[in-house]
Amino acid sequence: MSIKEACVRILDQLSGALHQIRSEDFSRASETLSQSTIGQHFRHTLEFFLCLEVALQTGRLSYDERSRDRLIETDKSVALECIGRVREFVTSISGCVPLQLQTGYDPSNDSTVTIDTNSNRELAYNIEHAVHHMALIKVGIKELAPYVVLDHDFGVAASTLRWKENAPEMNRAAVAE
């Protein structure tokens, strides 16, 4: 599976979950998720892809400067439109584009570090980031919207799926998804 195909699969899984969840559950605070909402995790995941889209136009990538658009986290139709936009963007990427990632690690000031990266590396990062947040979304769905049916691999890394397929039976149950 190519990196673009992996991104599209994740976006399709997010879309499938979003189509099933009731609007009130999408934006309801989850006790298990420290009062965040399923919608906030959707927004956060999608905005990282949107940051990469901007970076391919400017050459400069900053996940810290994302817009935090509340409509994506509260309005399912806006979130679905965003998934469509990200899907279109991901499938349109051609080649490997060099980028400069700017990020800050000091919460007390705005200083940043600049790191050489590229579009393929950042797509890979976005996949891992999305899978992590999809695992959290799954937890939120189990609490707030247990009627939603998710793929068995929703929020599970490909490496974990491969390992579980080949692991001795006694070790499979002990693996955290």
Let me know if residue 38 belongs to a domain.
yes
Eight-class DSSP state of 135? H
pLDDT at 163: 87
Let me know if residue 52 belongs to a domain.
yes
How far, CA to CA in Å, does 44 sit from each of 41, 50, 79, 95?
A: 5, 10, 11, 26
Beta strands in the chain (DSSP E): 60-61, 98-103, 113-118
pLDDT at 174: 56
Let me know if residue 55 belongs to a domain.
yes
Report d(CA 10, CA 86) in Å as an integer: 11
Residue written as token pair 């992996």: 6
Let me know if residue 29 belongs to a domain.
yes
List, run by run, the mean pLDDT of 10-residue segments along the chain (177 residues): 95 98 98 97 98 97 95 98 97 95 92 96 98 98 98 91 76 54
Let me know if residue 19 belongs to a domain.
yes
Instruction: Write down the pTM of the prediction.
Output: 0.90
Print burial letters for 123-154: b (CB count within 10 Å at least 16), e (below 16): bebbbebbbebbbbbbbbbeebbeebebeebb
pLDDT at 151: 93
- Count of domains for the chain: 1
Question: What CATH number should be reported for the domain holding residue 60?
Answer: 1.20.120
Let me know if residue 111 belongs to a domain.
no
Return the amino acid letter for 93: I
Let me know if residue 22 belongs to a domain.
yes
Report d(CA 169, CA 163) in Å as an integer: 11
pLDDT at 168: 65
Domain span at 65? 3-93+119-172
Let me know if residue 15 belongs to a domain.
yes
